[in-house]
Structure 1
Amino acid sequence: MDPDYNPMSCPPVPVNQHERFKQYRQRKIIFIILISITVLSMLLIVIIPCVYIFVIKPRGINPFQSSTSFTPALSTIINHKEPVCVHRQFGIITPDILYSFDCLNVTDDISGTYNGFPAAMSQTELDNETLQRMLPSYVTPDYSGQGAALKLNSSIPYQYIELEHSPKFANQTFTISAWVKPDLSALSLAVLLAQRYKNGGDHFFAVGIIDRRPRIRVYNTYTETSVQLKNSQWQYVTYTFSQSDLSMAIRIDGLLKAYGTIASPQYGESQIETTTIGSAAEFNRYNGLIDQLLIAYRVKNRVDILDEATLVICYRFEGDIANNDSLLNDSSANCIRAQGANLSRVVGSRRTGQGTLLLNDSSLSYFQSSGFALLYTHNYTYSYAFWISISNASSNLILLHITMNDEISSSNSISTCLAMLIIDKIDPLNNTMQLSMYTYGPQGQNLIRSNVMMRQSTWYHIAVVSIINNFDLYLNAVLAGSLNTSNTFQINNEQRLSLTIGNPSNESIQNQSYSLMCHLNQKQMFSQGSSIAVDDLRFYARQLKPKEIQALTDDVYSPSSWFYSENDNLL
């Protein structure tokens, strides 16, 4: 590579690739004309379609065909009109374009508008076996733990995505974000999304990573972060550009890391030549995983971006009142569907006309959501919060477990217990009970007891914040207990967390009882026949601040807006 090459500039696209596409279109027109001429002999009518199918349309090779014969590709790769699977519905605000990569062999925009195809499929000289080796792969789990992510290997030629139809970026306000799990060497140049224009020169746009630092380039001006991304870690990178004030910004996991403005005036209208994902037309190929590549034609505000990056789940328990299955739907950006048993919905229990989750019997019912990955940028901290009302409790009651599995472990591996919330010290005469939390580490268990007593059939807001060697327990936005201990299990981005309310039986999940995972030194009897009502269950891959917990208790519409202090700028 030329040592003077600008890492975020887009070099000229190889001419032969686009000449082939021009030849393809010309030959198709000739074919249509030829078959319309009735004076051609039957011999020509037979030969021309054969030439068209086996020579002119090499993009019709099926990437999953083990034979070297040429066969038509899946319809989703040719014209993308019929998806091969149903995309998950994501709780993302105003996504104009979204590549979920969940359909494994499809690089479609979720709306089917700006579809893509593996660039290797445009190389006519490749035989089928070589082509299959050059196609991108897809891996599970993705960041959310629910679907698949695109895997690109920069050592393989043409392993990137080319869009059949290009979205517009010139003279356009936009937000581009993606979950990335890079595997990049120092000083390497990697493009996530690039667009080249026929005007050439500096008239192009690209977002990518240089020396592991996210960079955005619009026209001939770029902005990059001083902070490096971490290899083999899921990170949420967001690039924004405002056409009104020509400003650019970059956020990592929701936190502002770079800001700048365009030095030169914007250009006029541009004729797009090519748009690519994972490379700038065969230059600066990305190495690693990409998931949830999203484009919105507006500058998203900082609160929306922070929630997309760190609000892992949010269950409001609304939806179809007649269909309890909708209780399992997550309204966060990740759309992590829960599982459970013996659940029902109650309307108006906490707020008029609003639904809440009801675990009919705490010993038989459970609600579980899983697959959470914590973030290096936020020091692998986490928080969870929910409303709860307990009825008919006569003895100790298990409320909630937080457990952890290694991502590379098999699905039936034994979980590590991190924490367990229980209700104990129940006094039926005075209608009081106490909230306690057990935390676990290599040396055994630790105990935090709430300094505030609770009453049955009354709604309380509970929040737990876990930071390095510290746990804080909040009841109705008041700090009710705290623990500082080095006896904790180490958590990183390679592990997945699960949250379970209730106590599934041994046969319910992985043939294990969660109460046995989260053991107690003393033998205790747990309540039978009690009920637990839950509302607004959230898990954050970061530390919640006290003002945010207060906002959640007050049912504020956008509690994450309180993450920022009054001294923070509005970017």
Structure 2
Amino acid sequence: MVDYLWSFDCGDTREDLTGLYNATAVNGAVTISPDYSGQGKTLYLDRKQNQYIILPRSLNLTLNTSFTVTSWLLIAGYMTKTILSDCNSFNPICITFLITETTMNIDISNWDNATIIQTAFVSFQNYGCQACWMHVAFSFNHQTGSTIFYFNGMQIGEKYLNMTVATLSQPNKAKATYIGLNAVTNAQPFYGLIDQLSVLYAVKNASVILYEATTVCHYTFDSEDINDGWGPNNIRARSQHVYRLWSNNKSSLLFNDSDSYFQSSGFTLMDSSDYEYSISFWLRLVKYISWEAFSSTTKNKAMALLYDGNTIFHIHVPTNPDGCIADISSLSQFPEEEVLLDAQTFLMVKKVEQDQILNKYIIHLQVSDFKFRGQQHKQDNSSVRDTFISSTDNPSDDGEIHEEI
């Protein structure tokens, strides 16, 4: 959700992804790898070389327009650094976004004599870290004058800017807009790395800023290309023998081959920099098994525990409305009446236990939908009957898993 974005991932420091604000690199400004995500490229500016970027025209940021400016930064040194500085011919002011080792600043300056008319700043001293990437956001609401500062996705302060500054036209003068240098004073050069610099002509929602500041990659699988990245960095993945399933206007991935995989890689920077991170996803684990996978079945738990395998499936089997179950004792090594479930019977994992003494897993399954097979015999009216299935298979997980047999 941006109007203009300089991602610096195209290998050209000048490129705005909209193509409307392709700029000019000054004094050898270059992009280097990796960026904050460890995947792409980032803009490197060296103040000793007075490096910066000139945009072709003004972004028209004024106190009469709401805006949000965001960027990833890795700063070096302790001097005040300019992130973005914008001037235009329809307003006698310039708006400059700066950062120091402890503060985020917005300066409103007179572009004729560089006088600072207003300034707003907040401290991030309690939130920052040395020599690490940080996400900053400046959000201005022209209706209220509210200016909210965000650091790493968190709101750290709110200030108010006075909107009564005169707006006299300056038709015979022109000022540039710079990335990495103060456009009014030609001072306060940036020193360090700038990545994913964006401008939006609106107040960006706090939840959106939090998403941009905390999400490295996001895969929805809702497009024809399942490898497309939908996160703020558009990081592509790669996959093999993975199929797209579509349901309720949403899609998911089906892994049904032994060599199926979906891979998004290159995130070593997060670990090497000691960043905290988490990975989350929705799963529905489906395991297709046949009766041949089991050694035997019994309704006697003690007998089941004598089995030499390492996994016992404890299935709670409800009877049908007539109280009938199927006699499949001929299929078992145990001389007992047992239950055979038809194909397309779904079992849901209710609990997983581990018997440390016997070195066995006991997986409790609940039949959610079933059919009976074989000759039926009248039994008592109990609503649930227990069946133990011994297996050499290891349990998949202790989450909510659907087994289909």
Give the structure-2-normalised TM-score: 0.66
Q: What is the aligned counterpart of 2:213 among 299, 309, 326?
A: 309
One-letter amino acid of the structure 2 residue matched with residue 108 of structure 1? E
2:47 equivalent to 1:154:
yes
Evaluate the alpha carbon distance shift between residue 223 and residue 344 of structure 1 in structure 2; reply closer, same or farther with a 3 A threshold: same
One-letter amino acid of the structure 2 residue matched with residue 147 of structure 1? G
Paired residue for 1:99? Answer: 6
Paired residue for 2:120? Answer: 223
Whether the 8 Å CA contact 1:389–1:456 is kept in 2: the answer is no
2:30 equivalent to 1:164:
no
Q: For 2:100 and 2:66, locate their aligned partners in 1 and report how far apart those are by CA, in whole Å.
A: 23
2:331 equivalent to 1:427:
no
> Normalized per residue, which structure has more helix?
1
2:267 equivalent to 1:358:
no
Paired residue for 1:193? Answer: 84
Paired residue for 1:384? Answer: 279
One-letter amino acid of the structure 2 residue matched with residue 166 of structure 1? S
Q: What is the aligned counterpart of 1:180 among 73, 80, 85?
A: 73
Paired residue for 1:369? Answer: 264
Paired residue for 1:244? Answer: 143
Q: For 1:299 and 1:225, locate their aligned partners in 2 and report how far apart those are by CA, in whole Å.
A: 18
Residue 194 of structure 1, CA deviation = 0.6
Q: For 1:144 and 1:454, locate their aligned partners in 2 and report how far apart those are by CA, in whole Å.
A: 42
Q: Which has the larger radius of gyration?
A: 2
Residue 314 of structure 1, CA deviation = 2.4
2:253 equivalent to 1:346:
no
Residue 163 of structure 1, CA deviation = 1.1
Residue 108 of structure 1, CA deviation = 1.6
Q: What is the aligned counterpart of 2:96 among 188, 192, 206?
A: 206
Count of residues in Structure 1 that have an aligned counterpart in Structure 2:
302
Q: For 1:453 and 1:155, locate their aligned partners in 2 and report how far apart those are by CA, in whole Å.
A: 67
Residue 427 of structure 1, CA deviation = 2.5
Please list the CA deviations of residues 32-72 of structure 1 after superposition, one character each: whole Å capped at 9, or x if unmatched. Answer: xxxxxxxxxxxxxxxxxxxxxxxxxxxxxxxxxxxxxxxxx
One-letter amino acid of the structure 1 residue matched with residue 223 of structure 2? G
**Percent identity for Structure 1 against Structure 2:** 29
Give the match's secondary structure for 1:205. strand
What pairs up with 1:119-518 in 2 under 5 angstroms?
Answer: 119-120=26-27, 135-157=28-50, 159-170=51-62, 171-185=64-78, 188-196=79-87, 203-219=93-109, 220-228=117-125, 229-263=128-162, 265-268=164-167, 270-271=169-170, 272-281=174-183, 282-320=186-224, 326-348=225-247, 352-361=248-257, 363-372=258-267, 374=270, 380-392=275-287, 427=313, 431=347, 433=349
Please list the CA deviations of residues 411-446 of structure 1 after superposition, one character each: whole Å capped at 9, or x if unmatched. Answer: xxxxxxxxxxxxx9672856455899xxxxxxxxxx
2:23 equivalent to 1:116:
yes
Evaluate the alpha carbon distance shift between residue 434 and residue 148 of structure 1 in structure 2; reply closer, same or farther with a 3 A threshold: farther
Residue 146 of structure 1, CA deviation = 2.8
Q: For 2:23 and 2:364, locate their aligned partners in 1 and report how far apart those are by CA, in whole Å.
A: 58
One-letter amino acid of the structure 1 residue matched with residue 95 of structure 2? F
Paired residue for 1:507? Answer: none
One-letter amino acid of the structure 2 residue matched with residue 137 of structure 1? V
Paired residue for 2:305? Answer: none
Q: For 1:426 and 1:318, locate their aligned partners in 2 and report how far apart those are by CA, in whole Å.
A: 38
Residue 161 of structure 1, CA deviation = 0.6
Whether the 8 Å CA contact 1:172–1:242 is kept in 2: the answer is yes
Give the match's secondary structure for 2:189. coil
One-letter amino acid of the structure 2 residue matched with residue 169 of structure 1? L
Evaluate the alpha carbon distance shift between residue 452 and residue 227 of structure 1 in structure 2; reply closer, same or farther with a 3 A threshold: farther
Whether the 8 Å CA contact 2:97–2:106 is kept in 1: the answer is yes
Q: For 2:4 and 2:77, locate their aligned partners in 1 and report how far apart those are by CA, in whole Å.
A: 26
Whether the 8 Å CA contact 1:341–1:366 is kept in 2: the answer is yes
Please list the CA deviations of residues 92-138 of structure 1 after superposition, one character each: whole Å capped at 9, or x if unmatched. Answer: x2x11111111223412111112210233xxxxxxxxxxxxxx0121
Whether the 8 Å CA contact 1:319–1:327 is kept in 2: the answer is yes
Whether the 8 Å CA contact 1:192–1:278 is kept in 2: the answer is yes
Evaluate the alpha carbon distance shift between residue 315 and residue 198 of structure 1 in structure 2; reply closer, same or farther with a 3 A threshold: closer
One-letter amino acid of the structure 1 residue matched with residue 49 of structure 2? I
Please list the CA deviations of residues 312-357 of structure 1 after superposition, one character each: whole Å capped at 9, or x if unmatched. Answer: 332221112xxxxx11222221212122221001122xxx242111
One-letter amino acid of the structure 1 residue matched with residue 100 of structure 2? I
Q: For 1:243 and 1:454, locate their aligned partners in 2 and report how far apart those are by CA, in whole Å.
A: 59
Evaluate the alpha carbon distance shift between residue 429 and residue 101 of structure 1 in structure 2; reply closer, same or farther with a 3 A threshold: same
Q: For 2:366 and 2:211, locate their aligned partners in 1 and report how far apart those are by CA, in whole Å.
A: 33
One-letter amino acid of the structure 2 residue matched with residue 206 of structure 1? T
Give the structure-1-normalised TM-score: 0.48
Paired residue for 2:297? Answer: none
Please list the CA deviations of residues 3-40 of structure 1 after superposition, one character each: whole Å capped at 9, or x if unmatched. Answer: xxxxxxxxxxxxxxxxxxxxxxxxxxxxxxxxxxxxxx
| Structure 2 unaligned residues grouped into runs of 5+ | 110-116, 291-309, 317-346, 353-361, 370-391
| Structure 1 unaligned residues grouped into runs of 5+ | 1-92, 121-134, 321-325, 396-423, 437-450, 459-523, 534-571
Q: For 2:208 and 2:363, locate their aligned partners in 1 and report how far apart those are by CA, in whole Å.
A: 34
Whether the 8 Å CA contact 1:184–1:231 is kept in 2: the answer is no
Whether the 8 Å CA contact 1:393–1:527 is kept in 2: the answer is no
Evaluate the alpha carbon distance shift between residue 212 and residue 278 of structure 1 in structure 2; reply closer, same or farther with a 3 A threshold: farther
Residue 368 of structure 1, CA deviation = 2.0
Q: For 2:252 and 2:150, locate their aligned partners in 1 and report how far apart those are by CA, in whole Å.
A: 35
Q: For 1:223 and 1:289, locate their aligned partners in 2 and report how far apart those are by CA, in whole Å.
A: 23
Q: For 1:238 and 1:375, locate their aligned partners in 2 and report how far apart those are by CA, in whole Å.
A: 25
Please list the CA deviations of residues 232-290 of structure 1 after superposition, one character each: whole Å capped at 9, or x if unmatched. Answer: 21111001111111121110111011211014513315545111000114411111110
Give the match's secondary structure for 2:218. strand
Give the match's secondary structure for 2:226. helix
Whether the 8 Å CA contact 2:58–2:87 is kept in 1: the answer is no
